[in-house]
Structure 1
Amino acid sequence: MQHSDTQKGCLYIVATPIGNLQDISQRALHVLAEVDLIAAEDTRHSQKLLSHYQINTRLYALHDHNEKQRAEQLLSRLEQGMNLALISDAGTPLISDPGYALVNLCRNAGIQVVPLPGPCAAITALCAAGLPTDKFTFAGFLPVKQVARREALACLKSAEMTTVFYEAPRRVEETLAMLVEELGESTAVVLAKELTKTFETFCSGTATQVLDWLREDAVHQKGEFVLMVGPAEQSNLDIPPEAVSLLTLLMQELPLKKAAALTAKHYQLKKNELYQLGLELSS
């Protein structure tokens, strides 16, 4: 179905620049100028973008802490025939940003939701990282708590595709250190920093090399980060993830030889391959 750029009672999902203001589309500028109201994650931050392009549309705060309450209010305005745009501080709304509650509410109420494509930090980083892109997993922000974060990284031991994370500057060094411990020093990693901005940087190499780069200068740990982890070594990919999980669990209670034998019997796999995998997991 074709849509005009300003239909009554529409919610427009508008992607905004992640750094370079010139990355906004002409369609996005038109919609932001023509809608009745713009729901923004941080109105003060978004006002800078609007002022730069001389857009005077009124802003309305919609963020993680008030979205469930304010989504109902915005739905009421949409049902009255108002056009609304949803933006986040940077990038595509809902991608590790607020907006799900509002969009879900609108869909259930029969309100038209129109997406405008544009910047997204995960895709921007991935396309220039040099890691496999035929299939990938976007996992958003890693958990804040150390135990949960370590478990999330450990799950990548049998990952068959590139995994993309966002990470906060205050945690990025600790996360890379955990990654080295859980996945090994030679794991392929790319860290993208300050995308589309003046000091845009891609650091790629082994997990240890990227960690060393982070530690060599405090400035390297400042900014907005996208962390990308390459797929597991091909030798491990023939072993189902369920078998890797069982082997890991049994290794905590039994000698490796016994753990490998039991896992091989349960999943009808070769003992030697599981034994070698166990050695790798233990290293």
Structure 2
Amino acid sequence: MIGKLYLIPTTLGDTEPLEVMPLSVKNVIEQLDYFIVENEKSARRFIKKIAPEKEQSSLRIMSLDKYAEEMETLNFLDVCLKGINIGLLSDAGVPAIADPGASMVKLAHQKNIQVVPLVGPSSILMAMMGSGMNGQNFAFNGYLPIDKSERKNAIKDLEKLSKDKNQSQIFIETPYRNEKMFTELKDTLTPITYLCIAADITLPTEYIKTMMVKDWKHQKPDLHKKPAIFIIQK
């Protein structure tokens, strides 16, 4: 029998895990000893928080960070071929969405290993849910270019695409550059384009607001170093 690959969600911040995800996540973690993670320290902290009775010494952690060798990661799922289940954890939110874990999921399919996604918080989907924009047709674009002129062109292209296809356009930014992004969006987008900003989702400081760009002109939401999602639609 081949083991399964469980895609295990984590919290989006310092919240109690069982406030934002079902008990089934805790039950699965308690049954697993092997984990593929983005960051070992944060993964151990999350596992201890959701399953405090689980012995940390029993954990077998494989790190899927930027320093991991590609050939090494190709062997991470070998335990499944021996009938052992394994869990894949993201640093925050759900695995394989805007996350390097997608490579492991692809590998699991290639090896005929069953993939089992578990329910948990996704900042992208929750922002889309709370935006009031088109949830029937939307696209996630990841990070926009860092170069100022390239980023401005990318914003204009996404605005045009949103109008031409009636498609909500979602993107993110490194938290310490959020306020700069907000300023550039106000300066680049047309006044009647809708902009949603969703920050600190699932946290006590959660902020989700959608307005036309012209109405954002004099707003100053506190976005500094906060995980945020931006959505536009014209």
TM-score normalised to structure 2 length? 0.84
Aligned-pair distance for 1:67? 6.5
Q: Kindly indicate whether the alpha-carbon contact (under 8 Å) linking 1:173 and 1:211 is maintained by their aligned counterparts in 2.
A: no
Q: What's 1:185 paired with?
A: 191
SS of 2:75's equivalent?
A: helix
Unmatched segments (≥5 aa) in structure 1? 1-6, 233-283
Equivalences for residues 116-195 of structure 1 within 5 A: 116-155=118-157, 156-159=159-162, 160-195=166-201
The amino acid of 2:6's aligned partner reads Y
Per the alignment, do residues 94 and 210 of structure 1 end up closer, same or farther by CA in structure 2, a change over 3 Å counting?
A: farther
Aligned-pair distance for 1:222? 3.0
Q: What's 1:252 paired with?
A: none
Q: Kindly indicate whether the alpha-carbon contact (under 8 Å) linking 1:71 and 1:105 is maintained by their aligned counterparts in 2.
A: no
**Deviation string, structure 1 residues 211-265 (Cα, Å, up to 9, x no partner):** 6433xx7x442311011112x2xxxxxxxxxxxxxxxxxxxxxxxxxxxxxxxxx
SS of 2:219's equivalent?
A: helix
**Percent identity of equivalent pairs:** 25
Say how many residue pairs are matched.
222
**Which structure dedicates a bigger proportion of its chain to helix?**
1
Aligned-pair distance for 1:24? 2.3
Q: What's 2:227 paired with?
A: 224
CA distance in 2 between partners of 1:103 and 1:85 (Å): 11
Q: Kindly indicate whether the alpha-carbon contact (under 8 Å) linking 2:178 and 2:223 is maintained by their aligned counterparts in 1.
A: no
TM-score normalised to structure 1 length? 0.71
Q: What's 1:37 paired with?
A: 34
| More contact order relative to length (CA 8 Å, sep ≥ 6) | 2
Aligned-pair distance for 1:118? 1.9
Q: Kindly indicate whether the alpha-carbon contact (under 8 Å) linking 2:2 and 2:113 is maintained by their aligned counterparts in 1.
A: no
SS of 1:30's equivalent?
A: helix
**Deviation string, structure 1 residues 182-234 (Cα, Å, up to 9, x no partner):** 321332111011111111112332225436433xx7x442311011112x2xx
SS of 1:33's equivalent?
A: helix
Aligned-pair distance for 1:112? 1.8
The amino acid of 1:109's aligned partner reads K
The amino acid of 1:16's aligned partner reads T
Q: Which runs of 4+ in 1 moved over 4 A?
A: none
The amino acid of 2:139's aligned partner reads T
